[in-house]
Amino acid sequence: MSITSLFTTILKSDQILGPDDLSHRYHHIWHMDQPLNALCVLLPETTQQVSEIMKICYAQELPIVVHGGLTNLVGSTETTGDEVVISTERLNKIEETDTASRTMTVQAGVILENIHNAATEKSLLFPLNFGAKGSAQIGGIISTNAGGLRVLKYGMTRQLVLGLEAVTADGTIISSMKKIIKDNSAYDLKQLFIGSEGTLGVITRAILKLEEAPQSRNAAYIAFDEYEDVVKFLKYMDSHLAGKMSGFELIWKNSYQQMTSVTDAVKPPLPYDYNYYVLVEALGSDQIKDQEEFQQILENALENDLILDAVMAQSPSDIEWFFRIREDVNNLVDFMKHDQHFDISLPIPLIGSYIKERYETLALINGVEQVYAFGHVADGNIHFMIGKENLSNDLKKKIDHCIYGGLKEIGGSVSAEHGIGTHKKDYLELCRTKEEISLMRSLKTLMDSKDLLNPGKIF
Amino acid sequence: MSITSLFTTILKSDQILGPDDLSHRYHHIWHMDQPLNALCVLLPETTQQVSEIMKICYAQELPIVVHGGLTNLVGSTETTGDEVVISTERLNKIEETDTASRTMTVQAGVILENIHNAATEKSLLFPLNFGAKGSAQIGGIISTNAGGLRVLKYGMTRQLVLGLEAVTADGTIISSMKKIIKDNSAYDLKQLFIGSEGTLGVITRAILKLEEAPQSRNAAYIAFDEYEDVVKFLKYMDSHLAGKMSGFELIWKNSYQQMTSVTDAVKPPLPYDYNYYVLVEALGSDQIKDQEEFQQILENALENDLILDAVMAQSPSDIEWFFRIREDVNNLVDFMKHDQHFDISLPIPLIGSYIKERYETLALINGVEQVYAFGHVADGNIHFMIGKENLSNDLKKKIDHCIYGGLKEIGGSVSAEHGIGTHKKDYLELCRTKEEISLMRSLKTLMDSKDLLNPGKIF
**Cα B281 from Cα B319, distance rounded (Å):** 9
Furthest-apart CA atoms within chain B: distance in Å: 78
Which of B160, B187, B212 is a domain's end point? B212
Q: Pick the residue from chain B with its C-alpha nearest to A419.
A: B184
Is B261 in CB contact (< 8 Å) with chain A? no
Question: What's chain A's Rg over C-alpha atoms?
Answer: 23
Best mutation target, A182, A350, A457, to test chain B (most B CBs within 10 A): A182
Alpha carbon distance, N-terminus to C-terminus of chain B = 32
Q: Which of B182, B216, B415, B445 to mutate to test the interface with A (most CBs of A within 10 A)?
A: B182
B-proximal residues of A, 330-369, CB under 8 Å: 345-349
C-alpha dihedral over A291, A294, A300, A303, to 10 degrees? -70
Chain A contact set for B413 (CB, 8 A)? 178, 180, 182-185
Give A53-93 pLDDT, tens digit per residue: 999 999 999 999 999 999 999 999 999 999 999 999 999 99
Record: contact B436-A182, CB cut-off 8 A: no
| Distance, CA of B137 to chain centre | 11
pLDDT at A1 exceeding the cut of 80: no
In this structure, which amino acid lies at residue A101? Answer: S
Are the beta carbons of A189 and B420 separated by less than 8 Å? no
Please identify among residues 241-260 of chain B the ones whose CB lies closer than 8 Å to any CB of chain A: 241-244
User: Is residue A111 domain-shared with residue A130, that is, in the same domain?
Assistant: yes
Q: Which contacts qualify for B253-261: CB closer than 8 Å, 24 or more apart?
A: B253/B277, B254/B371, B254/B372, B255/B332, B255/B372, B255/B373, B255/B374, B256/B325, B258/B331, B258/B332, B258/B335, B258/B370, B258/B372, B259/B325, B259/B326, B259/B328, B259/B331, B259/B332, B259/B374, B260/B325
* CATH number of the domain enclosing B279: 3.30.70.2190
Helix/strand/coil (H, E, C) string of B110-137? CEHHHHHHHHHHCCEECCCECHHHHCCE
Asked whether residue B368 is assigned to any structural domain, the reply reads: yes
A242 and A260 assigned to the same domain: yes
pLDDT of residue B242: 86
Q: Give the end of a domain, one of B191, B212, B233.
A: B212
A425 within domain boundaries: no
Whole-number pLDDT of residue A164: 98
Tell whether A227 and A290 lie within a shared domain. Answer: yes
* DSSP sequence for B314-374: -SHHHHHHHHHHHH-THHHHTT-SEEEEEEEE--GGGHHHHHHHHHHHHHTSTTEEEEEEE
Question: Distance between CA atoms of A250 and A310, rounded to whole angstroms?
Answer: 14
Task: Kindly report the number of other CB atoms within 10 A of residue B51's CB atom.
Answer: 20
Say if B11 falls within a structural domain. yes
Which CATH number covers residue B208? 3.30.465.10
Q: How many domains does chain B have?
A: 4
Task: Return the closest-CA partner of residue A17 out of A115, A85, A117, A71.
Answer: A85
User: What H or E segment, with its residue span, contains residue B228?
Assistant: helix B227-240
**A204 and A148 housed in the same domain:** yes
- Which of A185, A188, A232 should one mutate to test binding to chain B, selecting the residue with the greatest count of B CBs within 10 A? A185
Interface list for B 22-81 with A (CB within 8 A): none
Tens place of pLDDT for every residue, chain B, 459 residues? 789 999 999 999 999 999 989 999 999 988 888 999 999 999 999 999 999 999 999 999 999 999 999 999 999 999 999 999 999 999 999 999 999 999 999 999 999 999 999 999 999 999 999 989 999 999 999 999 999 889 999 999 999 999 999 999 999 999 999 999 999 999 999 999 999 999 999 999 999 999 999 999 999 999 999 999 999 999 999 999 988 999 999 999 999 999 999 999 999 999 999 999 999 999 999 999 999 999 999 999 999 999 999 999 999 999 999 999 999 889 999 999 999 999 999 999 999 999 999 999 999 999 999 999 999 999 999 999 999 999 999 999 999 999 999 999 999 999 999 999 999 999 999 999 999 999 999 999 999 999 999 999 999
Q: Is residue A25 part of a domain?
A: yes
The interface residues of chain B toward chain A in range 285-304, judged by CB-CB distance below 8 A, are 285-286, 289-290, 293
Of A184, A214, A437, the CB nearest to B415: A184
Largest CA distance in chain A: 78
The answer to whether the CB atoms of A179 and B347 lie below 8 A apart is yes
Share of chain A above pLDDT 90, in %: 95
Cβ contact, residue pair A182, B435, below 8 Å: no
Burial of A257 (0-12, 13-18, 19+ CB in 10 A): middle
Are residues A373 and A320 part of one domain? no
How far is A20 from chain B, CA to nearest CA, in Å?
Answer: 35
Answer yes or no: do A102 and B235 touch at CB < 8 A.
yes
* Chain B positions in Cβ-Cβ contact with residue A380 (cut-off 8 Å): 101, 179-182
The size of the A-B interface in CB pairs under 8 A is 284
The shortest CB-CB distance from A184 to any of B145, B214, B241 is to B145
Q: Which residues of B touch A172 (CB under 8 A)?
A: 435, 439
Digit-coded pLDDT (tens) for A410-424: 999 999 999 999 999
In DSSP notation, A119-169 reads: HHHTTEE-----GGGGT-BHHHHHHTT---TTHHHH--GGGGEEEEEEE-T
CA–CA separation, A138 vs B438, rounded Å?
A: 27
Question: Do A351 and A234 contact (CB within 8 A), yes or no?
Answer: no
Degrees (nearest 5) of the Cα angle B155, A179, A43? 115
User: Which neighbouring-strand residues pair with A223?
Assistant: A277, A309
Residue B128 and residue B63 share a domain: no
Asked if residue B451 is part of any domain, the answer here is no
Sequence-distant (≥ 6) Cβ neighbours of residue A335 within 8 angstroms: A258, A370, A387
Residue A281 near residue A217, CB atoms below 8 Å: yes
Q: Which of A113, A116, A94, A114 is nearest to A104 (CA)?
A: A94
Give B294→chain A minimum CA distance, Å. Answer: 12
By C-alpha distance, the chain B residue nearest A344 is: B183
- Domain of residue A51: give its range: 4-87
CATH number, domain of B23, equals 3.30.43.10
Decide the pairing of beta strands B84-87 and B64-67: parallel
Residue of chain A whose Cα is closest to the Cα of B440 = A187
Q: Is A420 within 8 Å of chain B by CB?
A: yes
Cα B139 from Cα A106, distance rounded (Å): 36
> Do B105 and B149 lie in a common domain?
yes
- How big is the CA angle at A308 (ends A307 and A314), to the nearest 5 degrees? 80
Per-window interface: B 98-157 vs A, CB < 8 A:
98-102, 123, 144-145, 147, 151, 153, 155-156
The verdict on B410 touching A (C-beta cutoff 8 Å) is: no
- The stretch A174-190 carries a mean pLDDT of 97
3-state secondary structure of B148: strand
**A308 and A342 housed in the same domain:** no
Strand partners, B339: B387
Question: What's the confidence (pLDDT) of residue A236?
Answer: 97
- pLDDT computed for residue B53 by the predictor: 98
Let me know if residue A432 belongs to a domain. Answer: no
Please list, in sequence order, all residues whose beta carbon lies within 8 angstroms of the beta carbon of residue B431, skipping any fewer than 6 positions away.
Answer: A178, A183, A185, B407, B408, B412, B413, B414, B415
A214 touches chain B (CB under 8 A): yes
Q: How confident is the model at residue A329 (pLDDT cuts 50, 70, 90)?
A: confident
Q: What residue spans of B83-216 are helical by DSSP H?
A: 112-121, 138-143, 151-154, 190-193
A226 lies in the same domain as A321: yes
Question: Does residue B427 contact residue B408 with C-beta atoms inside 8 Å?
Answer: no
Q: How many helices (H) and strands (E) does chain B have?
A: 14, 18
* Residue B219 CA from chain centroid, whole number: 22
Residues with Cβ within 8 Å of A98's Cβ and at least 6 positions away in sequence, in order, are A104, A105, A179, B347, B349
Q: Are residues B202 and B220 in the same domain?
A: no
Q: What is the mean pLDDT of chain A?
A: 96
Whether residue B58 is contained in a domain is answered as: yes
Amino acid identity of residue A42, one-letter, is: L
Task: Annotate A178-202 with b (16+ C-beta within 10 A) or e (fewer).
Answer: bbbbbbbbbbbbbbbbbbbbbbbbb
Question: Residue B196 gets which letter from DSSP?
Answer: S
Nearest to B175 among A98, A376, A433 (CB): A433
CB burial of residue A274 (10 Å; 0-12, 13-18, 19+): middle
Nearest to B239 among A179, A285, A412 (CB): A285
Helices B227-240 & B351-363, crossing angle to 10 degrees?
140
Q: Is A169 on the interface with B (CB under 8 A)?
A: no
Range name among A25-34, A267-276, B307-316 with the lowest pLDDT average? A25-34
β-bridge pairing A84-87 and A64-67? parallel
Distance (Å, whole) CA B100 – CA A228: 9
B205 shares a domain with B98: yes
- Contacting residues of B for A101, CB less than 8 Å apart: 347-349, 380
Give the other-Cβ count within 10 Å of B357's Cβ.
13
Contact A347 B101 (CB under 8 A): yes
Q: Residue A372: how many CB atoms within 10 A of its CB?
A: 24
How high is the pLDDT of residue A316?
97
Q: Are B244 and B158 members of one domain? A: no
Domain boundary among B212, B234, B264: B212
Tell me which chain B residue has its CA closest to the CA of residue A434.
B174
Tell me the C-alpha to C-alpha distance, in Å, between residue B273 and each of A413, B220, B221, B224, B331: 57, 17, 13, 9, 21
Instruction: Give the pLDDT confidence of B180-229 residue by residue, as tens digits.
Output: 999 999 999 999 999 999 999 999 999 999 999 999 999 999 999 999 99
- A248 forms beta bridges with A280
Query: Looking at the predicted structure, is the pLDDT value of residue A173 above 80?
Result: yes
Interchain pair A440, B239: CB under 8 A: no
- Rounded CA separation B382/B341 (Å): 11
Shortest CA distance from B158: residue in chain A? A159
Within 8 A by CB and 6+ apart from A301, the residues are A222, A233, A236, A307, A310
Q: Do B412 and A194 touch (CB under 8 A)?
A: no
C-alpha distance from residue A311 to each of A48, A49, A279 (Å): 54, 54, 10
Tell if the CB–CB gap between B235 and A187 is shorter than 8 Å. no
Count of all residues that appear for chain B in the document: 459
Give the residue from chain B lying closest to A445, CA to CA: B446
Amino acid at site B342: F
Nearest CA in chain B to A164: B436
- Has residue B129 been placed in a domain? yes
